[in-house]
Amino acid sequence: MNETPGGVDGKNLSREFHDRETVKLVLDLGASFASERRLDNLLEKIVDHSRLLTNADGCSLYLKGADGRLAFCVNKNHTLNINLVGASENNALFTSLPLDPTYVSAYAAIHNVTVNIPDVYDCAEFDFTGPRRFDEKNGYRTRSMLVTPLATREGEVVGVIQIINALDRHTHTPIPFDPHFEFLTNSLGNYAAIAIHNLRLTEEARQSTVLLKEANRDAIYSLAMAAEAKDDDTGDHVRRIQHYTAALATRLGLSREDVDLISLSSIMHDVGKISVPDGILKKPAKLTDEEFGAMRTHTEHGMKILPKKEFFRMAREIARHHHERWDGGGYPDKLAGEDIPYAARIVAVTDVFDALTSERPYKKAWPFEKAMEVMREGSGSHFDPKMIDAWVQLYDEGVLLRIHQQWST
């Protein structure tokens, strides 16, 4: 049995091989590993190239888990036509292993060394009960084995590869692994470990981003519900606005990501009503000019209430500008045409339509047909004409009615 320390660098590799093409191949594989964006694909790629580079019959990969065990991930065997990903319930060999040095893979991981065994049946240093059971069950004979830690240059072992049965290139019969493969797989293991480590960091960052978005989403709903509660709304209004907005944005050809952002941001359009006195919000009659002036301040208050973080940028724009008009006669800034933020132009349509078709303290709900007449008449004056063209299509297809029915208590 031979042992080679992990973490051999490129210079050692070059001195061992005197073969620039082999070194170049390893470097190219390292770049290929680094470019992979999915962990499952990366692990299969590591196994495939480890087996091909050493001209071996089979290869398994284990990753070191948070529980301290080596979790089985991938096994491929050419002779047996095996291609397994994940733990196998039918074969005891392909399960997680404790970090017990009596197992060769665990030993390699613990000591960060590559272990080269000419014939496992003649090796008394490790427990090979598992491979023997596998051989008996499958009519196979495991002979040579090369186990290499997947270790970063800092020495962090993230897993191991277990390569079995090097094959003679002429007779295709099992032979011991040539010692130069120890350096080759060490270097390959370095690149593999770095790629795995980086992918895990990327996934952790992604999960943190998801959690942050969920937290922001919860904050959005909470604020929106608080504003609607002041207005005696059940919360269905903001849900209708959200789904109307998503439908209109989709019809206008926006990307899925932009649709999600605009529809979520639309929920906050009236959050500034938290600052408007209840007597004005719930007045069952027409507002006086003074009262209407107080009501109009909800757009400015909404923008001030929302955090000045990038995630809320669109929500702030919608809150401030969803009462602007295409002809410049809206508020609070009298913006006109394309000077009005695109998302605010969308919500201007959805908010007015829902206000017309919903019951308010001062009015009954209008029929859809009557509301659509107002929307069409407002094209080019109140609303962006392109928005109304798309809105009419949604109405004709019954999309608006379905959303209204779904979110009306």
Distance CA 325, CA 384 (A): 8
3-state secondary structure of 183: helix
Identify the active-site residue in 213, 273, 286, 309.
273
Instruction: Supply φ then ψ for residue 117, to 5 degrees.
Output: -115, 120
Instruction: Write b or e for each residue in 377-388: b if 16 or more Cβ atoms lie within 10 A of its Cβ, otherwise e.
Output: ebbeebbbeebb
24 noted as active-site residue: no
Give the burial class of 96: count Cβ atoms within 10 A of its Cβ; 0-12 exposed, 13-18 middle, 19 or more buried.
Answer: middle
Q: Which amino acid is at 87?
A: A
Distance CA 182, CA 192 (A): 15
**Helices marked H in 78-179:** 104-111, 129-138
Distance CA 307, CA 68 (A): 42
The residue whose two tokens read 């003074």 is 290
3-state secondary structure of 20: helix
At CA 34, angle to CA 32 and CA 35, rounded to 5? Answer: 65
Q: Which amino acid is at 92?
A: A
| Contact by Cβ (8 Å): 306, 319 | yes
Residue 216: closest CA among 118, 313, 330, 340: 313
Residues whose CB falls within 8 Å of the CB of residue 140, separated by 6 or more in sequence, listed in order = 77, 79, 80, 134
The residue whose two tokens read 């909470």 is 222
Strand partners, 162: 60, 147
Which residues are marked as active site? 273
